[in-house]
Amino acid sequence: MSCVSRIVDCPTLTSVTNRWGTATKTVSLCCRVCGRYFPASRFDALTCSSTCRQRLRRGQDLAYLNGLPERQQQAEREFHAANDRLIAAHRNAGAAKHKVRDLK
């Protein structure tokens, strides 16, 4: 499994209908533990399932990199680091928007 090699054929934003019949947007993200792409309704989701969330809590961040060549591991780490910066920037933008709204 590798996030970087499969990023091209991965849909970025799709509209789906949830179980209550409401249209929601999901974004395809790469799981930090198993390396599979999964549809997420939150932009800052890190893991695909409760199993991977638990594995992440137990210190198995980027566990899927084991067995990959060193060069590919580095590319995957850079990919996730860039994703982390994107999430942080998104959160900062949201916080700034709230601050401006509070000042009014």
Residue 10 or residue 101: which is nearer to Zn ion going by CB? Answer: 10
CA dihedral angle for residue 14, residue 20, residue 22, residue 24, rounded to 10 degrees: -30
Q: Which is nearer to Zn ion, 53 or 72 (CB)?
A: 53
Closest approach of Zn ion to the CB of residue 75, in Å: 19
Q: Which residues bind Zn ion (CB under 5 A)?
A: 31, 33-34, 48, 52
Residue 40: name the closest of 24, 51, 29 by CA.
29
Q: How many whole angstroms separate alpha carbon 27 and alpha carbon 97? A: 22
Judged by beta carbon, residue 37 or residue 72, the one nearer Zn ion is 37
Give min distance, CB of 48 to Zn ion, in A.
Answer: 4
Closest distance of CB 62 from Zn ion, Å: 11
Rounded CA separation 55/85 (Å): 22
